[in-house]
Amino acid sequence: MKFVNIVETIKKNIVHQSTHHHADTFKSKVEEATGVNISHCYQCGKCTAGCPLNEEMDIMPNQVLRMLQAEMPGHEEKILSSLAIWLCLGCDTCYSRCPQEVLLSKVMDFLRQESIRQKKVNPKAKDILKFHQAFLNSIKMNGKLHEVGLTIDYKLRSLNLMQDIMLAPSMAAKGKLAIFPHKVQNTKAIADIFRKVSEGSQE
């Protein structure tokens, strides 16, 4: 009799999960946008253990996934206003260690964009955001990174005008600072990618 009750409980849980799988939740929104199944994470903690910046984060990588799984009130706000999503390097150390192959860096990319969209960027991440914007602007204009343009754009945004200025002569001597950008041939295709992303296209 006890076994029957356990089976019935499992069946009810399966039905509950299937009927709520496509619910309009933040978790489902993240999954739809990234193609990453958040539920695959079983909290082994290998992502956090291997993350080179975990000591600086206010929310650990595995905790970000757990908060998305839990779908508790206030979790979306806490994640989007966290510093952790901006400290993620996208190095994919977490992905290489994950036994479930959860592509956390892709989730972090989406969370950063959503944080910007909802105007919830952590104040401590303001310079990171400015670098992020300058970097993407360089890619959008040239199809590839132009270091001089990126540096000028970032310094004008952040006003950190003297930061790393002493590195410029040695980098120029080594040919690392090209004055003019080398653009890709089809910049229109790059512009189309940015347009589709800004419009939320799934193409």
Query: What CATH number does residue 57 fall under?
Result: 1.10.1060.10
43-47, 131-135, 162-166: least confident range: 162-166
What is residue 6's predicted lDDT score, i.e. its pLDDT? 58
In a domain, 99, yes or no: yes
What is residue 23's predicted lDDT score, i.e. its pLDDT? 59
On the question of pLDDT at 180 being above 80, the answer is: yes
In a domain, 16, yes or no: no
Write the DSSP string, 5-32: HHHHHHHHHHHHHHHHTTSS-HHHHHHH
| Two tokens, residue 109 | 């990319």
In a domain, 10, yes or no: no
Whether residue 149 sits in one domain with residue 194: yes
Could you read off the pLDDT of 17-32 as tens digits, one per residue?
Answer: 444 455 589 999 999 9
- Could you say which of 69, 100, 118 is where a domain stops? 118
Confidence of residue 42 (pLDDT cuts 50, 70, 90): very high
In a domain, 84, yes or no: yes
Whether residue 106 sits in one domain with residue 157: no
Is 89 within 8 Å of 112 (Cβ atoms)?
no
Helix axis angle, 104-117 to 61-70, nearest 10°? 70
Whether residue 32 sits in one domain with residue 88: yes
- Could you say which of 65, 94, 118 is where a domain stops? 118
In a domain, 54, yes or no: yes
For the entire predicted model, the pTM comes to 0.75
Split into its structural domains, the chain has a count of 2
Confidence of residue 69 (pLDDT cuts 50, 70, 90): very high
Is 138 within 8 Å of 153 (Cβ atoms)?
yes
Whether residue 51 sits in one domain with residue 102: yes
Q: How far apart are CA 154 and CA 30, in angstroms?
A: 29
Task: Give the residue numbers spanning the domain of 174.
Answer: 125-199
> What is the maximum span of the chain, computed from C-alpha positions, in angstroms?
81
Residues whose CB is less than 8 angstroms from the CB of residue 200 and which lie 6 or more positions away in sequence, other chains included: none
Could you read off the pLDDT of 79-130 as tens digits, one per residue?
Answer: 999 999 999 999 999 999 999 999 999 999 999 999 999 999 999 999 999 9
What is residue 26's predicted lDDT score, i.e. its pLDDT? 94
In a domain, 142, yes or no: yes
Whether residue 131 sits in one domain with residue 82: no
What is residue 9's predicted lDDT score, i.e. its pLDDT? 56
What is residue 134's predicted lDDT score, i.e. its pLDDT? 93
- Up-side HSE of residue 187: CA atoms within 13 Å toward CB? 13
- Up-side HSE of residue 170: CA atoms within 13 Å toward CB? 4
What is residue 159's predicted lDDT score, i.e. its pLDDT? 87
Smallest Cα–Cα separation from 100: which of 37, 53, 145? 37
In a domain, 20, yes or no: no
Whether residue 109 sits in one domain with residue 131: no
In a domain, 151, yes or no: yes
Could you read off the pLDDT of 188-201 as tens digits, one per residue?
Answer: 888 888 888 777 65
Q: How confident is the model over 176-187, as a mean pLDDT?
A: 84
Whether residue 140 sits in one domain with residue 92: no
Q: How far apart are CA 134 and CA 103, in angstroms?
A: 25
Whether residue 99 sits in one domain with residue 142: no
- Could you say which of 71, 99, 118 is where a domain stops? 118
Average pLDDT of the chain, as a whole number: 87
Whether residue 129 sits in one domain with residue 191: yes
Amino acid occupying residue 37: N
Whether residue 105 sits in one domain with residue 86: yes
